[in-house]
């Protein structure tokens, strides 16, 4: 008998894409998608849907009913409507309920949890490149990052109590896709990018395709453990802004905080773009080491950080200063210099 | 704006309103580029071209073209930085170019023993620290680049990464936070890492204590070198002590500002900003013989006695070299 995979958070883009992928795998019999709302329109073929609010114990019934053996928990997210309190509850209480249900289900053999590199925080006094084993000097004080830290804590507890279950925690860098919808993409879609004066954070991205692929491998039979997932290389915020053709507006860090406060009062997308943790990220940046992912886990992301960003940039409205226009000016001038050179009599003389 | 909307570009008409950026008409830039190009072209073929050749010397077009290439990459963000934020192009073209005159013309640095820096592979350079402002570290970066053709990746105090602007410049110049993780990662990647283990104790010591090495931290740098199995090159810098002779310290002000010290020198703060100009001392940077660490097993990094002994060995080497160089020195401003 093949695998029965339970996927939480299928209403989100990544969840839906992953559920579709895993349903096509040979050896996977049933894929059950779970989310709080009515069945999403984008639910892929071959995925059954169960409407369960993760904060309620009903999830245990779903696991028992389908005799689930692989649980892929993707509903740890900064997304969601209904405000921060609800998102936090879904993240933390939802995970507790899910893990509680898994603990009571003898059939569960494998657990994959989506986490984030935000668990390392963003602080000036931290090492430049985070490895999986490093303890950040400043644990994130709130927001989604804090949720992820707590979720990981519960997952560790679960792994201790159920040593027979293979547990994999994947810490994703910021996921970028063609039309992804995350706080960071909301920020990049602003016509002007407010930045922290005197800071140029290093950012890392992982392409949505790679994220789906890593999850697929982890759900099948990849080695267990905790892994950072990020594309090769690093982009500075200033580079991102220029590649998007969006001018930056450097503000003193306290002023940026005030702007963020104002923006949070406004409507989407500005309110999403300026959460407290995102401000930290946009001030201090964060880079993780992916040697474990390549070595132990055995996966090399196909998209590097700049490539993932280029794919994203190609699918957003260009900003007021598209790189092509700027290069038109410099290229014309360069061409002129080349034209000018032969007219110089000194240059025409044979050497 | 309205002029640019006119049918100069017929394709503009089919852009739907939603997707057309509202802040500008369609493609005004190429027109600007054309006008600019025509203007510059006319000027260059006329009097200006000849004048430019006279003023800037032959081959100025090439230099201007490479400058434009640099500008193009900068404007479009088309350059690479490494995981630590090191921007090689910016460092070579801008930072080092700005620091080089200071090293060569102002401090007239004599660099010795660069043959001790291997042409490739990881190496840890350990040096004495002095002079109130870490000019000695920056000058060592210039020396290592110009004489050994390697990029020095320095380990800097956490204060550097807390300050706005400074942290950005430091990261782009290839510096990173002085912590074991970063030091080890860089060494394992085969970089030249520079460390000034005296830290603020060394750089902010009173003038009376000049050239007396302070405590070398907890020997963390030796442990990192042992783990990575790379040689340690001791480096002695003479001349930096006298650039800003620190004769006093505004302790209260320093505490208020959260700084390790606020120096009083014979010129600062009395002469205002002029007092911030370093004295034009003559410098010597001497790289010593490498101390190999690959003969020790990896666990040696966890042996405190060995780490302390090696730390002392490095410290003694630097101190003795300093004394030797001081004896040879004829005058501070030589």
- Cα distances from B158 to residues B149, B161, B221, in angstroms, run 28, 5, 15
- Cα distances from B227 to residues A167, B117, B168, B187, B303, in angstroms, run 31, 19, 29, 9, 11
pLDDT at B9 over 70: no
What confidence score (pLDDT) does residue B203 get? 92
- Cβ atoms A71, A110 nearer than 8 A: yes
* Closest-CA distance of chain B to residue A145, Å: 21
Rounded CA-CA distance B233/B239 in Å is 20
pLDDT at B157 over 60: yes
What confidence score (pLDDT) does residue A348 get? 45
Which tokens sit at B269?
């703060």
Residues B39-57 have a mean pLDDT of: 72
Q: Which of A124, A328, A334 sits opposite B167 (nearest CB)?
A: A124
Q: Does B315 touch chain A (CB under 8 A)?
A: no
The sign one gets for the Cα dihedral A244, A245, A246, A251 is positive
Closest-CA residue of B relative to A134 is B181
Closest-CA residue of A relative to B168 is A199
Q: Does B165 touch chain A (CB under 8 A)?
A: yes
Of A138, A251, A124, A281, nearest to B159 by C-alpha is A124
A328, B30: Cβ pair inside 8 Å? yes
- Cβ atoms B197, B130 nearer than 8 A: no
A330, B165: Cβ pair inside 8 Å? no
Of B244, B253, B159, B149, nearest to B204 by C-alpha is B244
Q: Does B167 touch chain A (CB under 8 A)?
A: yes
CB atoms within 10 A of CB A289: 20
Closest-CA residue of B relative to A253 is B164
Rounded CA-CA distance B12/B25 in Å is 9
What confidence score (pLDDT) does residue B235 get? 97
SS3 B249: strand
pLDDT digits (tens, 9 = 90+) for B272-286: 888 889 999 999 999
Q: pLDDT truncated to tens, each residue of chain A (351 aa)?
A: 789 999 999 988 899 999 999 999 999 999 999 998 888 888 888 899 999 999 989 999 999 999 999 999 998 887 665 677 888 888 999 999 999 999 999 999 999 999 999 999 888 888 999 999 988 777 787 788 899 999 999 999 999 999 999 999 999 999 998 877 788 998 998 888 999 999 999 999 999 999 999 999 999 988 999 999 999 999 999 999 999 999 999 999 889 888 888 877 776 555 677 788 888 999 999 999 999 999 999 999 999 999 999 999 999 988 888 888 888 878 888 887 777 654 444 544 444
Interface of A with B in 106-135 (CB under 8 A): 124-129, 131, 134
What confidence score (pLDDT) does residue A153 get? 94
Which residues does residue B156 pair with via DSSP β-bridges, in sequence order? B177
What confidence score (pLDDT) does residue A85 get? 82
Q: How many residues comprise chain A?
A: 351
Closest-CA residue of B relative to A244 is B76
CB atoms within 10 A of CB B278: 18
Beta strand pairing call for B284-287 and B232-238: antiparallel
B29, A326: Cβ pair inside 8 Å? yes
Rounded CA-CA distance A182/B284 in Å is 54
Cis status, amide bond into A269, omega within 30 of 0: yes
CB atoms within 10 A of CB A165: 19
Q: Does A202 touch chain B (CB under 8 A)?
A: yes
- Cβ atoms A27, A4 nearer than 8 A: no
Domain boundaries of chain B, sorted by first residue: 2-45, 88-243+278-328
Domain B88-243+278-328 adopts which CATH fold? Glycerol-3-phosphate (1)-acyltransferase (3.40.1130)
B36, A198: Cβ pair inside 8 Å? no
The sign one gets for the Cα dihedral B201, B202, B203, B204 is positive
What confidence score (pLDDT) does residue A350 get? 47
């Amino acid at each position: 008998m093949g695998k029965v995979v339970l996927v939480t958070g299928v209403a989100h883009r990544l969840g839906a894409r992953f559920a579709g992928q895993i349903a096509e795998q040979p050896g996977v019999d049933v894929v059950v998608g779970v989310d709080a709302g009515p069945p999403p329109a984008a639910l892929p073929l071959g995925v059954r849907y169960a409407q369960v609010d993760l904060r309620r114990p009903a999830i245990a019934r779903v696991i028992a009913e389908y005799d689930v053996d692989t649980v892929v928990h993707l509903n740890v997210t900064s997304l969601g409507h209904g405000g921060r309190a609800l998102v936090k509850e879904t993240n933390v209480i939802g995970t507790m309920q899910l893990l509680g249900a898994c603990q009571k289900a003898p059939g569960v053999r494998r657990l994959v949890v989506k986490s984030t590199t935000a668990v390392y925080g963003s602080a000036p006094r931290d090492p430049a490149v985070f490895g999986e084993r490093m303890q950040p000097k400043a644990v994130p004080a709130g927001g989604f990052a804090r949720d992820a830290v707590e979720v990981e804590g519960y997952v560790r507890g679960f792994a201790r109590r159920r040593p027979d279950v293979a547990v994999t925690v994947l810490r994703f860098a910021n996921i970028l896709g063609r039309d992804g919808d995350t706080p960071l993409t909301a920020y990049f879609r602003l016509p002007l990018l407010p930045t922290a004066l005197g800071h140029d954070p290093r950012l890392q991205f992982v392409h949505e395709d790679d994220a789906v692929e890593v999850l697929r491998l982890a759900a099948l039979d990849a080695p267990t453990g905790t892994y950072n997932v990020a594309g090769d290389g690093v982009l500075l915020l200033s580079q991102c802004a220029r590649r998007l053709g969006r001018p930056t507006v450097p503000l003193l860090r306290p002023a940026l905080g005030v702007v963020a406060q104002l923006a949070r009062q406004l409507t989407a997308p500005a309110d999403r773009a300026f959460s407290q943790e995102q401000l930290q990220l946009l001030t201090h940046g964060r880079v993780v080491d992916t040697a474990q992912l390549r070595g132990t886990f055995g996966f090399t992301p196909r998209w590097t950080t700049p490539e993932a960003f280029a794919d994203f940039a190609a699918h957003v409205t260009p900003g007021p200063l598209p790189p092509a226009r700027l290069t038109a000016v410099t290229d014309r001038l360069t061409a002129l210099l080349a034209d000018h050179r032969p007219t110089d009599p000194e240059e025409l003389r044979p050497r | 704006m309205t002029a640019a909307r006119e049918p100069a570009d017929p394709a503009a008409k089919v852009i739907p309103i939603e997707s057309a950026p509202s802040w500008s008409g369609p493609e005004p830039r190429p027109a600007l580029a054309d006008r600019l190009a025509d203007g510059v072209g006319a000027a260059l073929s006329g009097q200006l071209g000849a004048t430019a050749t006279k003023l800037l010397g032959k081959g100025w077009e090439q230099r201007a073209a490479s400058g434009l290439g640099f500008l193009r990459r900068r404007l479009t963000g088309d350059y690479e930085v490494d995981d630590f934020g090191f921007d090689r192009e910016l460092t070579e073209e801008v930072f080092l170019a700005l620091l080089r005159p200071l090293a060569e013309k102002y401090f007239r640095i004599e660099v010795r023993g660069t043959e001790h820096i291997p042409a490739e592979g990881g190496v840890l350079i350990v040096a004495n620290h002095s002079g109130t402002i870490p000019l000695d570290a920056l000058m060592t970066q210039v020396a290592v680049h110009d004489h050994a053709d390697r990029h020095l990746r320095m380990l800097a105090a956490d204060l550097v990464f807390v300050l706005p602007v400074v942290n950005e410049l430091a990261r782009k110049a290839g510096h990173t936070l002085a912590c074991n993780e970063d030091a080890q990662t860089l060494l394992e990647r085969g970089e030249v890492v520079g460390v000034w283990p005296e830290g603020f104790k060394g750089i902010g010591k009173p003038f009376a204590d000049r050239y007396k090495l302070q405590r070398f931290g907890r020997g963390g740098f030796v442990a990192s070198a042992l783990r990575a199995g790379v040689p340690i090159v001791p480096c002695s810098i003479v001349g930096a002590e006298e650039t800003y002779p620190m004769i006093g310290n505004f302790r209260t002000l320093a505490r208020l500002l959260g700084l390790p010290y606020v120096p009083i020198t014979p010129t600062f703060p009395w002469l205002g900003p002029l007092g911030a100009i370093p004295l034009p001392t003559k410098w010597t940077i001497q790289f010593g013989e490498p101390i190999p660490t690959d003969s020790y097993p990896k666990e040696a990094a966890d042996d405190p006695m060995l780490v302390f002994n090696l730390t002392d060995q490095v410290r003694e080497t630097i101190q003795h070299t300093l004394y030797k160089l001081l004896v040879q020195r004829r005058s501070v401003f030589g």
